Structure formats: C-alpha cells, structure tokens
Amino acid sequence: MKGFLGITVFTFLVATALGCQKQADPVEKGEHLVNILDCDTCHSPKMLNANGMPVLAQGGILVPDTTRRLSGHPAEAIYPTWSPEDAQRGSVTLASPLLTAWAGPWGVSFATNLTPDKATGLGEWTEGAFVQAMRTGKHQGQPNGRYILPPMPYYAYKHLTDNEVKA
C-alpha cells in the first residue's frame, strides 16, 4: 500500500509539473530561431561607418543595423552583377557589401523584407504560405511559383518542425 501511495503521489507530481510548464511564446521562439539560423546575415542591412564602409565586429563579422533589422536589401544600396567572365576568374557568386544582395548565374537576388510590414514585408502572407515557402522553396508557397533564389537555404529549413516554422 505504501509503495502504491508513493507511486501515485510521484505520478501526480510529475503530471502536474509537466502540465504547468510554460509554453514557449511564439515570438520568443521566433527570435531564438532567427538568431540560430543566422537570418540577420542576409536579411538585415549592416551598420556603415562615416566613409560608407560596413562596420566590422571582432573576427571581421559585419554588424547588423538593428534599426532596420530583417528589412531586407535597402532600395538605395548597391548590388552586384555577375557575368560568365566572373566564373572564369573563379567567382561563382558575388555579394553586395551589405550581404543583402547576391549575383550568380541565376541573376541577382535580393534579401526579402521579413518584417510584418504589409506593403514591403511578410504582413500580407498567410502562415500557410510561409510554411509552404520554407518547405518547398517556392516564392510565397505557390506550387507553380518561382523558386526562392540563392543563397536562401530553404533546402535545409524544410527540416524545421511546423511549430518552428510558424514561430
């Protein structure tokens, strides 16, 4: 009887503790994923010094401009072009100084605005469209749409769970 009571109390305490665990806030989880998936590297403009050159942190890492975080390639920023001669020189891709635009044999790709802005960001996207875009690599998740251009690693992100993509 004593053993049964102990098991019952233990089971109750474990069940209560599991039931009381705080569910992760989707915004906090999204922030965490943005950090570990390194979205800032391509989707955030970088800080510039007085000479218009990117600010470098220790180790030569470009410093994201937190006032324009995840806003994509700035319209006024320069972007690279690519030609077959670049391949002959060993350059498969070229990047803008802010790392927000890339050029290669596919043409030029610009980092998308990932903010919730309805006019320029993801504000008009449905959750389902975003999930499909991450799963299929198709722009706005449209089955007959164009592929998201390099260097977006959608082929790796398709392994995220639905809850991770929705965060």
pLDDT given for residue 67 in this prediction: 96
pLDDT given for residue 13 in this prediction: 40
Q: What's the burial of 95, exposed, middle or buried (CB within 10 Å: 0-12/13-18/19+)?
A: middle
> 100 and 74 in contact (C-beta within 8 Å)?
yes
Q: pTM here? A: 0.80
Cβ within 8 Å of residue 103, ≥6 positions away: 79, 80, 81, 82, 93, 94, 95, 109
Q: Per residue in 87-124, pLDDT tens?
A: 999 999 999 999 999 999 999 999 999 999 999 999 99
Tokens of 3: 């053993």
Q: Give pLDDT < 70 ranges for the chain.
A: 1-23
For the chain, strand residue ranges (E) read 94-95, 101-104, 107-110
Tokens 């030029």 identify what position?
A: 108
pLDDT given for residue 23 in this prediction: 66
